[in-house]
Amino acid sequence: MLDKSAITPLYIQLMNELEDKIRKEIYEPSEKLLTESEMSKKYGVSLITVRKALDLLTEKDLVERKQGKGTYVKKPKFSKNVHMLQSFSEMCEQMGVKPGAKMLENKIVKADEKTAGALGIDVESSVVYISRLRYANSEPVVLENNYFSLKYAVLLDTKFDDNSLFKFLYEKYGFKVSASEKVIELCKATSKEASALQVKKGESLLRVKSIAFDSENKPLYTGVQIINGDRFCLCTYEKV
């Protein structure tokens, strides 16, 4: 129940309680919530308090208010703060979501001009290529393709399915991402991407091109993430 003696406003408390139940799927996607009047009686608060809480949940894209029908739960999006140096696994764990991965390819390839330029190596140099499909609560949401210089050839000896590639690098060899550059743009799903992410070919997706740097400001990897924008969002939090 809500704490009327707390400093936190009641509508925020109510929003937090409902959001927690939505994210934990106690309230399932497409489920109809109690009416505003029923919610007011259940939690012992005013209709204004209930409406303010639902307004915030609507802004967070967690519920949908259908005129004349009521308020329905939407499937919550997974979100990542692009300003934070945070791995996919860390992001999932922070949200209370189970991370997962399926390694699609792990091999030596020749660097094209863009990859070589990003890594600071010669074109046609051998690089380590790792392609993985990332899951959140067993749902495919990100297809990532990363290229590492041969300094990281040790990655070829390990299978990165449900384990963190970057945690492995840090714990085994002390390699850590200290900075990154990102370019975010829209793209259309290819046949391969659509199949992996379980969307339709040509559907709009997010493409994130990135270069990550180690503690010596040297390129650690360069890569591309293809993201299902219907299930995953990129956000930013900045102090002003």
Alpha-carbon distances of 49 from 17, 145, 172, 223, rounded to whole Å: 13, 46, 52, 46
pTM: 0.69
Per-residue pLDDT band at 151 (split at 50, 70, 90): confident
User: What is the C-alpha R_g of the chain?
Assistant: 22
Query: Which residue is it, tokens 């001009």?
Result: 113
* Cβ–Cβ under 8 Å, residues 228 and 142: yes
Residues 155-174: pLDDT tens digits?
998 888 877 888 888 888 78
Residues 35-79: pLDDT tens digits?
999 999 999 999 999 999 999 999 888 899 998 899 999 876 666
Q: What is the CATH number assigned to the segment(s) 10-73?
A: 1.10.10.10
> Residue ranges of the domains in the chain?
10-73, 78-235
Residue 194 tokens read as: 């659509």
Q: What is the CATH number assigned to the segment(s) 78-235?
A: 3.40.1410.10
